[in-house]
Amino acid sequence: MFVANIMSTAIITAGPWLSATRLVELLVDENVGAIPIVDDQHRPMGIVTRADVLEEDDFRSDALELTAAELMRQSPITIEPNTLIADAARIMARQRVHHLLVIDESGVLVGVVSSFDVVRWVADAQLLHLHG
């Protein structure tokens, strides 16, 4: 099965100019673990995760005046929709990340796969195996 089958397509994204304060609001209000930072063509430039800006759900005081471009991890790990879920899981484990950005052939962001998506897929596969 491919990541296209489990990825989230309703993605909260931000531009590089967005303030850290607004990024935190989005992370908390939308209850997401990461926000891809994209350019004007919706191509990923970086990613900001909860761990980058929050410490135990408190805003990092040293990040108050920063922008998304200053906070983001540059060169986020990207995969294509036809990547096997098992391969995506291996990439996450090897790179020690919880989110992979899914891009189409022109580099445009089309989805996000989280470690939670992979775990849910494994759990569903196990349930099918047990009751199938």
Give pTM, 2 decimals.
0.89
Kindly provide the b/e burial profile for residues 63-85, where b requires at least 16 CB atoms within 10 angstroms of the residue's own CB. beebbbbebbeeebbbbebebeb
Query: Fold for domain 3-131?
Result: CBS-domain (3.10.580)
Q: Say what the pLDDT of residue 54 is.
A: 72
Provide CB contacts within 8 A for 58, sequence distance 6+: none
Q: What is the pLDDT along the chain (132 residues), one digit of tens a residue?
A: 999 999 999 999 999 999 988 998 999 899 999 999 999 999 999 999 988 887 655 666 666 688 999 999 999 999 999 999 999 999 999 999 999 999 999 999 999 999 999 999 999 887 766 665
